Chain A
Amino acid sequence: MNNILQVCFSAVRRMSTTGPVESTIFNKLQSALSASHVNVINESYMHNVPKGAETHFKVVVVSDKFDGLPLIKRHRLVNDILKEELQTGVHALSIVAKTPKQWEESDKIVESSPNCKGGFGK
């Protein structure tokens, strides 16, 4: 019984392990945008990549700096901050960029990205 619990526990821990790219993305977004909320979701497991890969991400960023900026400029800002990562292995980046007010007014539910259709790796 104890053993089973332990196995379960370590499985959960392994799943929630934060990879190096994931933490870099988190830190960069938080500091560059003085974000009040950052959530980095590694969606790589949904794609045809090795286990533990850090290729597909979704980020949720809430920052004052988005105030007055149209969507495309917010996305460009985030893309720019993560330029290095996007050039060195991060292959997909889905972005939710909101101002604190918009975040408060939203349901705060972030839908997961569409399923892969196998185009990666070509």
Chain B
Amino acid sequence: MNNLLRRHVISIYNNSVKLSFRSFADVPIKDKIDQIVKNNKVVVFMKGVPDAPRCGFSNAVVQIMRMHAVPYESHDVLSDENLRQGIKDYSNWPTIPQVFINGEFVGGCDIMLQMHQSGELVEELKKVGIKSALLTAEPPKDEEKK
């Protein structure tokens, strides 16, 4: 009797664990990404991690963020195939890296580079309350602010 009861309890327990596990895994990737980009001011989806980028384009974005001393959350798409495809669908953008500021897709490596060069990045960061380290290190020249 005791045995029977125990088996029963275990099976109920197992089921509930499976159920809760499944419901977590079933959260659509779109919703997960939504949460990630809305809960952080700056998010970078990249190949590898900031200390060891595994793609030159991802590395370039990391270097730009470092120059501006931007605090950001990074996600490695190489460690999650679901995320790798999911992020491309989410932003309707075919390549990695991808940068989000304030929940909005800003661009990939080319756009970040150009925004960095034109001074636009400093302005975008200011809008979300991040002061670029370049402002204190080197005051922007007038000619750069076209």
CB-nearest residue of chain A relative to B88?
Answer: A86
> Which range contains the number of A residues in contact with the other chain?
20 to 34
A75 touches B110 (CB 8 A): yes
Interface of B is mostly: mixed
User: Across the interface, which residues of A come within 8 angstroms of B57, CB to CB?
Assistant: 92, 94, 113-114
CB-nearest residue of chain B relative to A92?
Answer: B95
A79 CA to B108 CA in the complex, in Å?
12
B107 touches A71 (CB 8 A): yes
Residues A71 and B111 in contact in the complex (CB < 8 Å), given A86-B94, A114-B60: yes
Question: Tally of A-B residue pairs with Cβ under 8 A?
Answer: 59
Interface of A is mostly: mixed
B55 touches A94 (CB 8 A): no
A97 CA to B114 CA in the complex, in Å?
11
A119 touches B110 (CB 8 A): no
10 A-B residue pairings within 8 Å (CB atoms): A71-B114, A72-B105, A76-B93, A113-B56, A116-B55, A117-B48, A117-B54, A119-B48, A120-B55, A122-B78
Which A residues have a C-beta under 8 Å from some C-beta of B?
Answer: 71-72, 75-76, 79, 83, 86-87, 92-96, 113-120, 122
